[in-house]
Structure 1
Amino acid sequence: LLSSLIFSTLQYTQATYFGNPQDQITAPLIIHEPIEIRNNNNFSDYSLPGAGTTGDPYRIENYNITTLNTVGILVIDTTDYFIIQNCYIDASFTAIGINNVTSGTGEISDVTCKENDFWAVVIIESSRIYIHNCIIEDNIDDFGLGIYLVESTEITVYNNTCNNNNYGLVAENTNSSVISYNTFSGNVEYGVHLSVDPNENIVHHNKFINNKGGAVMQARDDGINNIWYDEASKEGNYWDNWNDPDSVVPIGGTAGSEDIYPLDENLTREINLFFVPVVIALVIVVFRKRIKRSN
């Protein structure tokens, strides 16, 4: 029901587009109308480069889509491979909407999404989508979500900047996804909210800075078996309002989650200097005992 409701709103309402972005992106951008792809055949309608294969995906790239339409780029019910990259998108409702695409076929990279009223990037009923190196900011009017994951699995959200949105990232009924090395800063509500039955997601090596007005809890977890640190490295996230290297960081919500390995602003573990002399003393004692035994 939720995904159907969201999908029904992702329709174009007006055909006006214009562009004058202030952001610098890596290649010159071409002003382009909104892109609506509802099946594989629509990729060729836009004369996109690529062949739709894993080695040569269709490339939606180097566009400035600034529009009064509801959605900037919409991809639905496709099986071909595609990547959205190096674009600037400002739409009245949602910058990028991806719904029910074949697992592992979609990627969003190096995209700037600004001033969209509801969801900058929304992924619905899809799996193994890779979102990385994006700037998602100032999506604050109305609902104002930076990244919205709905009924999806194995989504990778890596090295993005989500600043000054209403929420940085919200995941609903989304499982087995990884949220890492992102910056969530100055969002009105939570930087990350795992909401409505999200299970077995991993959140680590992110920076949480002044979200929810500097509240103690900058993230919320209402799911099951979500982990707020990397188990292999035993490293969690950076929280700008955390200053005790020996304490855990509580995560808001019904799950009772904690970041038990919080990091400093360089995303490294702090060493409590109180214990350094103790460790040195123990090493000296062990070393002296070994010398005596050898004599």
Structure 2
Amino acid sequence: MRPLVARFGVLALTAAVACQAAQAPGPQASSGPSASAVASSPSPTPAASPTVPYPSREGTCAMRVSESFTLANDMTCAGDGMVIVADNLTVDLGGHTLTGPGMGPQTWPLPQLDSVGVRVGGHTGVTIRNGKTTAFSTGIYFIDMVSSSIESVTTLRNRFGFYIHASQKITVKDSDVEFNIYGLHLQSSDDSVLTNNLLARQTYNSPGGYGLYLYASSRNRITDNTIDSNINWGIWFSDAKENVIFHNNVVGNNPPVSDNTEGSNVWYDKQTKEGNWWADYKGKDADNDSIGDTPYPILGPGGMVDPYPFVAKDGWKTKRRSTIDHYEPAAARPPRAITLVALAGGSAYTARPGDDRATLRIPDVAQIAMGTDERTLYAASGKTVMAQDIVTGETRDRSSYSVDGIVAANRDGHSVLVVGPQGAEQRDLTTGQSEFFNYHGSPEVLAPSYKHNHVFVATPRGIDLLYLNLGGRTPYTIPLDGAPTAMVMAGSGTRIYAAIAGQPLVDVVDTEQYAVVDRITTDVVPTSLAISPREDVLYVGSTSGVEAVTIRDRSVVSSAAFLGSVVDLAVSPNGDQLYVALAGLSHAIAVLDAPRLRVAHVIELDNDPSRILVASY
């Protein structure tokens, strides 16, 4: 079955075409260039390469195109610019501009199709070339397309620049994608070529700000593009596999890249051993082969790298010698020192994995959270939050907040969040500045987003999206299959796992699609969850024990039974140990070898625990 997003897109396209077929021709396009279009154009329309000429004709808005032609005029439209309704044709925009009514409201994760510059679906052999689309919901929208192309087109100030959806063998080349909310977007699209494009300065209206986004798209070839100054990710891959990426300039994005698929995508040309130019690369080129002597790390859980990064922009154009291969896969990371932190009986306790009994660390504590540095403990008592270094014992901050609620560390590394039913507050610990947000939900668990500007809040009605850059507005709640009893975010930030109350079920939420994209059926009713650092094993706690379930095939590879009830789980940084907080007949922390789940040690607690964290340093 086609994913919900794809099916929605087909329905939207079909409805639009049917509606246009039933109506009289749309309003006549303006005969001259739009003043707003001219004013908003930061870059000239790409120069057209020599092409076969087609008959010239005047265009009208919402026109249905069934044969090749060259557009003879600019168009300013209240809806779609044009809809392609046949195979094997070329629309040459003739250097003209299609201007729409504006980008329309946010519809993520669904495509925004209120107005489309060029809309085409279910066809093959279609080429759109030599012009500009601006101020539409989507500049160009392909769905269910095969062997088609976009060439020498500028698209700017749309919500989506180019949206390639459920398509195969698409070429996008020699085009400029600038100042959109989303740049070049591939959704469930495979075997395509993206080459010699400028993907730059996409703006931020969360979610957004991406230069290039691939979701569930495979075997695409991405070369010779400049991905420049996008306000969010330059390149974001989510469930994108077997793609090849090399000879791209990536500069000024924040952050440059993320890939959540381990060992699948190839960030260099295997034949020449040449990768990409990353502007923030700090390595050296001691042998003057234009290639850095150390790899460039690709953000994400798989530890991927570009092993052959260039040290200068467009380095492949001036390279004069073969690559001298210095790359060696990184050695296994040595185990780090670990301190466990447990919330038990209204106090925070600490212990090393080999200790027999935990030590009282901070009395009178209602909530605990670990900082992104993995060594700063945030402990809340009422409306006061203390920040303490687990290693040195130094209290770095003690602040009063205006709300009482759940505590979490924001992903920016220097802010603390408190979210309660009467509001939310974020405090920057480096500046002391505090901001209040008018939130009125029922928070139970927090998962700050990697984008720093919003938080996923588990509530009985689903997962609220609490937007910190919109005054705490909650524009959307991700529906689940029931109230969540536990929630954990994967290390890459692209998946949330939510245990459903009273059901042997875990919902899998895509944090980019804002939707449940999968479900994991378990043998038990989960009470707690943890995910391995490699994101390949889900640990499921219950009233009777814990199971290790593989993400790929959902098989239970091991299990352990306990007399006490499992109330929380945590995993060591290198994934070799699972820590199990036990309450009831036992109040202790069980240390298990992972993923085999053999009990290696038990740490006694004075009271039943409710939370367990891992500090590593």
TM-score interval, smaller chain: 0.7 to 0.9
CA-to-partner distance for each residue in 1:250-294, whole Å, 9 max, x for gaps?
Answer: 1112332110000121324699xxxxxxxxxxxxxxxxxxxxxxx
Aligned partners of 1:31 and 1:211: how far apart in 2? 40
Which residue is equivalent to 2:385? none
More strand by share: 2
Cα offset for 1:82?
A: 1.9
CA-to-partner distance for each residue in 1:159-205, whole Å, 9 max, x for gaps?
Answer: 0001101100101110000111000011011111111x211001111
Matched, 1:242 2:281: yes
Query: Does the Cα contact within 8 Å between 2:131 and 2:154 map onto a contact in 1?
Result: yes
Aligned partners of 1:122 and 1:112: how far apart in 2? 14
1:71 to 111, 116, 123: 116
Length, aligned pairs only: 247
Q: Structure 1 residues 200 and 177 mapped into 2: Cα distance closer, same or farther (>3 Å)? A: same
Cα offset for 1:152?
A: 1.0
Which residue is equivalent to 2:162? 121
Q: Secondary structure at the match of 2:154?
A: strand
Once the two structures are superposed, the pairs formed by residues 270-281 of structure 1 within 5 Å of their partners are none
Q: Structure 1 residues 161 and 70 mapped into 2: Cα distance closer, same or farther (>3 Å)? A: same
Aligned partners of 2:116 and 2:194: how far apart in 1? 21
The aligned amino acid for 2:259 is D
The aligned amino acid for 2:44 is Q
Matched, 1:48 2:93: no
Cα offset for 1:87?
A: 1.0
Once the two structures are superposed, the pairs formed by residues 217-256 of structure 1 within 5 Å of their partners are 218-224=256-262, 225-244=264-283, 245-256=292-303
CA-to-partner distance for each residue in 1:226-251, whole Å, 9 max, x for gaps?
Answer: 01111111000001111312221111
Which residue is equivalent to 1:58? 90
Cα offset for 1:2?
A: 2.1
Aligned partners of 1:257 and 1:34: how far apart in 2? 47
CA-to-partner distance for each residue in 1:110-140, whole Å, 9 max, x for gaps?
Answer: 00000002x100111111110000011001x
Query: Does the Cα contact within 8 Å between 1:60 and 1:82 map onto a contact in 2?
Result: no
Aligned partners of 1:159 and 1:128: how far apart in 2? 17
2:229 to 142, 166, 186: 186
Q: Structure 1 residues 34 and 153 mapped into 2: Cα distance closer, same or farther (>3 Å)? A: farther
Q: Secondary structure at the match of 2:6?
A: helix
Once the two structures are superposed, the pairs formed by residues 126-145 of structure 1 within 5 Å of their partners are 126-139=167-180, 144-145=181-182
Which residue is equivalent to 1:91? 135
Query: Does the Cα contact within 8 Å between 1:32 and 1:64 map onto a contact in 2?
Result: no
Question: Cα RMSD over matched residues?
Answer: 2.9
**Residues 174-183 or 219-228, more deviating:** 219-228
Query: Does the Cα contact within 8 Å between 1:161 and 1:183 map onto a contact in 2?
Result: yes
The aligned amino acid for 2:227 is F
Query: Does the Cα contact within 8 Å between 1:35 and 1:73 map onto a contact in 2?
Result: no
The aligned amino acid for 2:249 is K
Q: Secondary structure at the match of 1:129?
A: strand
Cα offset for 1:35?
A: 5.1
Aligned partners of 2:232 and 2:252: how far apart in 1? 10
Q: Structure 1 residues 110 and 257 mapped into 2: Cα distance closer, same or farther (>3 Å)? A: same
Q: Secondary structure at the match of 2:313?
A: coil
Cα offset for 1:7?
A: 4.7
Which residue is equivalent to 1:112? 154
1:162 to 170, 193, 199: 199
Which residue is equivalent to 1:151? 188
Aligned partners of 1:34 and 1:233: how far apart in 2? 48
Once the two structures are superposed, the pairs formed by residues 195-214 of structure 1 within 5 Å of their partners are 195=238, 197-212=239-254
Cα offset for 1:6?
A: 4.3
Query: Does the Cα contact within 8 Å between 1:235 and 1:262 map onto a contact in 2?
Result: yes
Matched, 1:4 2:14: no
Which residue is equivalent to 2:308? 261
Query: Does the Cα contact within 8 Å between 1:157 and 1:178 map onto a contact in 2?
Result: yes
The aligned amino acid for 1:227 is V
Which residue is equivalent to 2:604? none
Cα offset for 1:61?
A: 2.3
Q: Secondary structure at the match of 2:169?
A: coil
Aligned partners of 1:86 and 1:226: how far apart in 2? 32
Query: Does the Cα contact within 8 Å between 2:198 and 2:226 map onto a contact in 1?
Result: yes
Aligned partners of 1:124 and 1:243: how far apart in 2? 37
The aligned amino acid for 2:191 is E
Query: Does the Cα contact within 8 Å between 1:71 and 1:91 map onto a contact in 2?
Result: no
Q: Secondary structure at the match of 1:262?
A: coil
Cα offset for 1:91?
A: 3.2
Aligned partners of 2:44 and 2:141: how far apart in 1? 23
Gap regions ≥5 residues in structure 2: 21-25, 49-55, 71-85, 102-113, 203-208, 284-291, 322-617
Q: Secondary structure at the match of 2:66?
A: helix
Cα offset for 1:99?
A: 0.5
Aligned partners of 2:66 and 2:313: how far apart in 1? 43
